[in-house]
């Protein structure tokens, strides 16, 4: 059992139907086409959320993880942040994703 955490992430966020066994299996064994594209373009990816409510696939770059088991504070140089966001945006387009990368602030409650 982990503690509550909060992630700041730039990229894409896909809603996942955790009751869809085929989709969940594709995420678990990394055969999902979105994960394959992310790996090919050296983008980070992870899944997370609550199985009772929301579950998501994220593709892009983590800016920071916060909470008892992570950081309480982090500084990011704005030039490096812009460069990272531009790289993610370029790679997402190159991969053929239609969705627009966004800055996500995601809370993950203690499971």
Q: How far apart are CA 8 and CA 61, in angstroms?
A: 9
The total of structural domains in the chain comes to 1
Higher model confidence: residue 30 or residue 55?
A: 30
Q: What is the pTM (predicted TM-score) of this model?
A: 0.85
The β-bridge partners of 8 are: 64, 105
Higher model confidence: residue 20 or residue 109?
A: 20
Q: How far apart are CA 44 and CA 35, in angstroms?
A: 9
- Domain span holding position 22: 5-108
Q: Band of the pLDDT at 52, cuts 50, 70, 90?
A: low
């Amino acid at each position: 059992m982990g503690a509550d955490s909060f992630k700041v992430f730039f990229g894409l966020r896909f809603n996942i139907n955790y009751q869809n066994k085929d989709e969940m299996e594709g995420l678990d064994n990394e055969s999902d086409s979105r994960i394959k594209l992310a790996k090919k373009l050296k983008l980070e990816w992870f899944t997370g959320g609550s199985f009772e409510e929301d579950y998501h696939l994220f593709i892009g770059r983590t800016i920071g993880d916060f909470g008892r088991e992570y950081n309480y504070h982090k500084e990011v140089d704005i030039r490096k942040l812009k460069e990272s966001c531009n790289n993610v945006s370029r790679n997402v387009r190159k991969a053929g994703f239609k969705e627009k990368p966004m800055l996500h602030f995601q809370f993950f409650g203690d499971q």
